[in-house]
A and B are shown apart, each in its own frame.
Chain A
Amino acid sequence: MSHFGALVLFAALVSPAFACLMREGWAARLRFTAWAFLSFVGFAVGIGWIMYLAGG
């Protein structure tokens, strides 16, 4: 499994659990799941690019 694959898998499994902990109602949970998932992946990719560019 690639690094990115592991990241996506982790985000996909953790996001719904966090949503159920932090939101009430399935609609709000669905929105939070999407937001958390995209945040996990987005921040990881962003930080990856920063490290890549900073490292030359």
Chain B
Amino acid sequence: MKINKKLTTAVLAAATALSLSLNAQAEYVAGEDVTVLQGFKPGGGSDVLAQLVQPYVSKQLGVNFVNEYIPGATGAIAWTRLAKQSKKDGSVVSITNTPMLMTNYIMNEAITYNIKELTPIANVVTDPGIAVVAKDSPYDSIEDLLAAAKEKPGRITVGNSGMGGDDFFTTLLIEKATGLSFKKVPFQGDGPSATAAMGNKIDVSFNNVGTVYSQVQSGNLKALAVFSENRVDSLPDVPTLKEKGVDVVAGSSRGYSAPAGIPDEARDQLIAAFEALKNDQAFLEDAKKRALNIDIVTGDAYGEMFESMEKEFQGIWQEVSAKQQ
């Protein structure tokens, strides 16, 4: 019975999705092949997203996705290519990672693209931020940590995944929200940052739920707080920063964008295909298996997400660089 019910909802959802997307079976206006520029190496986080999403979207649109990997400059080479050198007919899209998409050009003048040169299609996954400490750390709650930071300003060492990454900016956001200051220690990625916390080499690591989940479960790391809007399903006992009175929501998100100026028809078709994922049970199951936190935001709403992030990070970066000078 239960299976039957699930099946009917799935069929219904699929049917509504089909009718919503203005005959999705019809041919995609930009042709049969869509190139996906990936700014990172095969097998990385972007590729994981592509492997998950593209089979479903390709069925919706009736197209083949061709992945092209152009790693380098934390994605900036691929995004510059997307914004400046790609056909603006909807046949080229790219996986866009936030906040890297904006922090790249906010921090470096030599990187010349910006979000105005892109057509935001859809955000697909968001991995919320999380604060983790070693299992034998003296800090048992986020309050302990903040109190320690108050006592020793600028002495509490906070690991992040690298300069310009999400965790680095999250630290800045928390500093701004609390008026405290931390010592920010950059690592080459989330993994090494978590390992350093595990070995008590740093006081705390600001990380992402997806990266540290298994270590938190196995007890090697203690989770102090998550940086999401609401508590995370997989870690129901961990409070959010918001609950503790620190108004910071942060994480690392990945979605799809096209160059600016693509035909409206192509844009609508792409957005409809991603909208349909929201109700696609098979897709959601698949995402759960890969422990990805689905957060579908399409079209203009995704564009607003870009703009508010750009504004937020630009502001913080100006303050930071003003302080340095």
Is A bound to B?
no
B-side residues, CB < 8 A to A, are none
A-side residues, CB < 8 A to B, are none
